[in-house]
Structure 1
């Protein structure tokens, strides 16, 4: 069996000359064509209750017809959906019209956040914003979008409110968005303590002060990762900040305290060891990024406090497709962008900060920019 590195290497080396016939090329192209149909099939099966009932009866190999009976659905419909996702190896075909579960199915049932990836996030975000993006760009003269309140999001929704305003005021959309971010962090990203040496933060921290302030931290998944690595962090020293709408129903948990805060306002917590932001600044155009960064130095302690920005960096040569997809995604909903190292360095300088080091690992898609007062 090929190793993951060998598989990735094979995919990256594909060129038009890799295919000896047109039918081989079409087979590869079909992997892009099937994505929409696969997601639609997954969402249908989730809503019908197929996966939950299947796991509840033990997750044994089963016929599509038997699974349809469990949820009182029409057999032919379930059969067609099962055929689609088995072709993508999300379930395993073990016989004619008979399927076995996979770890993906088990996780879909056991992790309450996972199904949200195929809910409102799929319907009203991921699919919708890419559908309208080419038309928005065309009608605006193919200019690079930089205005968050005059963006593809307003073009798509027909409203004047911004992406984050809509997410904050729509409970179903907000929950799906938060769940999607949580799942992305949990399953797709290398934990940030594996990218940055967090031992240096814990060992050099003052016992009576804030250790990590997670600005725009959502539901606190990054602070949880830190806390797992450093369970002896002082009580309440890990501070989760976000706007009130996002922090609805959030309560202090363990060493994590909760503080509503708008990062476009001066930072409230003075003298923290680290001010951390994960996938926050890529949501904004350059002027807003500078504004956010300028709000932090007034709270920092010279020679002690650090700013840690956890983001995907665009390579100037052969950029990762994961990063370029993220770049077009934030363009589509926020008129924002991913950035190169040079672009980040310029923004930090304009905010009165100095980049110390950019931490990277081979495994991680995202890097961590470490900065201090200039």
Structure 2
């Protein structure tokens, strides 16, 4: 057996279901590096210029046709193109061309001539609408236009290519106009707002370790129950508070507060009993003396000056020696940051002219707020995000 054949056999013997997250991430990093070593420069360029774009187009079309939902409902058995056509009413010639593209990307499995088997990815598309919505308005209304525009925005800046920091003169305004803001644009359309919230929910489930698994939440539930326990600031539809409730169902829901802009919250049905408190975090925090003020991927949306103002409003509502701020964010490592982290960092650049921060940058940010100190940074090797626990001095 040749070396290549032996290597391929070893790879096919790997069972991803028995891998820990840590081992899975390590394996993915090594496989990505190996793929790049095996590709020619033309292979890489072909993937970027043709494969990525047409694959997303094929996926979105198949979602709109209803293949994934109907496939899941019918039992997920392998099907021919003709059977898919009968199931969906779509043109079989069109389906064949779309399905073979998705199969060539190993997203579904070709098991016989013109016959395809499902995969965990395909099943999730068919059973979880929030997952499928990532390929909807979140993709084609929000992130893709910003990514396409970014090189032109950076090159057109006064003085040439510079790191952008102006929130109101960002790439976002280049795409959508000088008066547009990201959150105003998202919340102005109910479907877009729902798809953005769904994407953030899936993002927190699929990309990151849940905050209640990363942080010792017993410190929260052992606190006073006559005060709010968790104020989830910028919490969208409340998926992070839901995680807390799932871990601690004994906690009175009245102790949990969900905050976001009124136009964001009005689009969602929130778990009954959770206190919904419309709030703009650039104004004074109305909930005083809570045990925890929680931010999940919020501060990365804002440059330092704005983030400092947000944190000052929380600081002034905190009870010294009792209240904490938990900042649940990506920390950019000094060496070998992962592709997930670097992709998120450039996404922040494209949408807001902001960034993912390093631990050193967070230390400076907290020092510049004044009256606060970092008590601990909660990390896990397999977690992309960390939790920065902040106390009032």
Question: TM-score, normalising length from structure 1?
Answer: 0.93
- Which range is displaced more, 301-310 or 34-43? 34-43
Runs of 4+ deviating beyond 4 Å = 12-16, 25-33
- Aligned residue in 2 for 1:267: 285
RMSD: 1.9
Match of 2:299 in 1: 281
The 1:372–1:165 alpha-carbon spacing in structure 2 relative to 1, beyond 3 Å, is same
**1:118 aligned onto 2:135:** yes
Counterpart position of 1:202: 221
Gaps of 5+ in 2: 1-12
Task: Determine the structure 2 residue equivalent to 1:313.
Answer: 331
Q: Which shows bigger deviation, 151-160 or 39-48?
A: 151-160
Considering fraction of residues, name the structure with more helix: 2
Sort the Cα spacing of 1:184 and 1:252 in 2 relative to 1 into closer, same or farther, 3 A: closer
Identify the range of structure 1 (277-286 vs 152-161) with the bigger mean alpha-carbon deviation.
152-161
Q: What residue number does 1:234 align with?
A: 252
Rounded to whole Å, the distance in 2 between the matches of 1:230 and 1:27 is 50
1:180 aligns with 2:199: yes
Name the count of aligned residue pairs.
369
How far apart, CA to CA, are the structure 2 residues paired with 1:6 and 1:250? 37
Between the aligned partners of 2:119 and 2:29, the Cα distance in structure 1 is 25
Identify the range of structure 1 (191-200 vs 4-13) with the bigger mean alpha-carbon deviation: 4-13
Asked if 1:11 is matched to 2:31, the reply is: yes
Which one of the candidate residues 318, 323, 348 is aligned to 1:300?
318
- Say if 2:71 and 2:126, in contact at 8 Å, map to a contact too: no
Which one is further off, 5-14 or 153-162?
Answer: 5-14
After superposition, the C-alpha distances for 1:275-314 in whole angstroms (9 at most, x for unaligned) are: 0000000001110010101101111111100000000011
1:367 aligns with: 386
**CA distance, structure 2, for counterparts of residue 269 and residue 299 of structure 1:** 7
Contact 2:131 2:199 in 1 (8 A): yes
How far the C-alpha of 1:172 sits from its partner, in A, is 2.2
The DSSP-based 3-state class of the residue aligned with 2:354 is coil
In structure 2, C-alpha distance between the alignment counterparts of 1:201 and 1:42, rounded to whole Å: 43
Deviations 1:111-137 (A, max 9, x none): 121111011111112211110000011
Q: 1:84 to 1:13 in 2, by over 3 A?
A: closer
Equivalent position SS for 1:295: helix
Distance 1:348 1:133 in 2: 30
Distance in 2 (CA, whole Å) between partners of 1:36 and 1:234 is 47
Measure how far apart 1:72 and its partner are.
Answer: 2.3
